[in-house]
Homo-oligomer: A and B are copies of this chain.
Amino acid sequence: MKKLIGNAVVGQSGGPTAAINATLAGVIRGVLENVGDGAIKTLYGMRNGVEGLLEERLVNLNELFADEKNIDMLEHTPAAALGSCRKKLPKAGENDAVYEKLLAIFKKYNIRYFFYIGGNDSMDTVAKLSAYTKGHDYEMCIMGVPKTIDNDLVVTDHTPGFGSAAKYIAVTMQEIIRDCAVYTTPAVTIVEIMGRDAGWLTAAAGIGLAANGIVPDLIYLPERAFNKEEFFEDVRAVLAKHPNVVIAVSEGIRFADGTYVCEGFGIASTDAFGHKQLSGTGKALEHAVKAELGCKVRSVELNISQRCGAHIASATDLAESVTVGRAAVKAASEGVTREMMIIVRDSTKPYTYHVDHSDVSKIANQIKEVPAEFINARANHITKECAEYLLPLIAGEGTPAYAQGLPQFFIID
């Protein structure tokens, strides 16, 4: 493939993370440092992903980030500075109008490079756009750049964004365990963690297994069926040992019949307006344990802070995110297209990795689960092997700069 020379566009898509802007910063650095050796002239940012691109809501990033200080600040800014979207493209061949519109916009702005930073759904967009542009005479380079706190993309060892969320969870869990240790009255604390159908984030609650040994008493991942009776047995066994039980559960745990735990307990509560209230997984288990064991129970949902907690980001994750973004520019300028950037782990002790790329069409719409050897036999905790695998990803504190006690974030108006 001959070297393409033109402009580039970069977008962010899917749920926010503490590191997606670090990846954007990496793409910007790659262009401004000219790692593509003249391939890319102007880098445009699409506001709100392809949704904004279709409305030609573009911003000139070369100009916006001419001052290095802005890039530094961007690296520590949580969520998606360009805005995000959850737009799903139609299958190429079914409804080509949207692709024709996109192509017209690419031609209008002389865009030859398309970088899309996102997770599973975003890689679907990248794969579809790759498929559409493949047969076309307007040559383009389409690149996926991974990002998801869920860590559920296949092929790549892990995803940028995961390490920071994992660090938030691991650190917060250390604090919650201290908080729960102060009273002598028996009490159960259930911490609900994100991750949809993959248990990686919940597993991060147990990272202490490979470090200081301080971990929740019980950890339940969605990769294994949740057995109510065994769960009550597990809780009773811990209560027999000490009064302060701490449990980490994934939001996505399900019973053997496939029903989500948050649906299956059928907690009958109605709100002030007479509407039936749908509880979260933690809340459902809180009610179940209270009914079964009669002791004090509370549930804590880490909620969106676990994905936007830039103040306790993993320095390793931020550095890798920048590296992956920069490498995407380099690879694209060398003719790589229709691929997603991946992280390849070379060694765990000491932790080393390199960046590569892989066919995006084989990555999109797949889910990488926590493997069997990372979960204990009873399916109520992770293995030490799992903790050792996760530990290097939370190394270092990627703290933002502070002014008057508040973090300094870069905002694109």
Interface positions of A (Cβ within 8 A of B)? 12, 16, 48, 51, 77-80, 83-86, 167, 170-172, 174-176, 178-179, 181-184, 207-208, 210-212, 214, 264-265, 269, 271-273, 275, 277, 283-284, 287-288, 291, 300-305, 307-312, 314, 391, 394-397, 399, 402-409, 411
Contact = CB atoms under 8 A, between A and B. Distances in A.
Given A275-B291, A311-B175, A312-B311, A405 B167 contact: yes
A309 B300 CA distance: 14
Nearest to A17: B179
A200 to B, nearest CB: 16
Nearest to A212: B406
A48 B51 CA distance: 56
Contacts of A395: 404-405
A318 to B, nearest CB: 13
Contact of A178 (B264, B284, B302, B409): B409
Contacts of A305: 172, 175-176, 300, 302, 305
19 contacts: A79-B179, A79-B181, A84-B182, A167-B405, A174-B406, A175-B407, A207-B406, A211-B405, A211-B406, A212-B404, A264-B271, A265-B271, A275-B287, A275-B291, A277-B283, A312-B312, A314-B405, A394-B405, A397-B399
Contact of A212 (B211, B284, B288, B403): B403
Number of copies: 2
Contact of A406 (B171, B271, B302, B404): B171
Contact of A308 (B85, B175, B211): B175
A207 B265 CA distance: 36
A26 B86 CA distance: 51
Given A301-B303, A391-B405, A406-B207, A184 B85 contact: yes
Contacts of A314: 405
Contacts of A396: 405
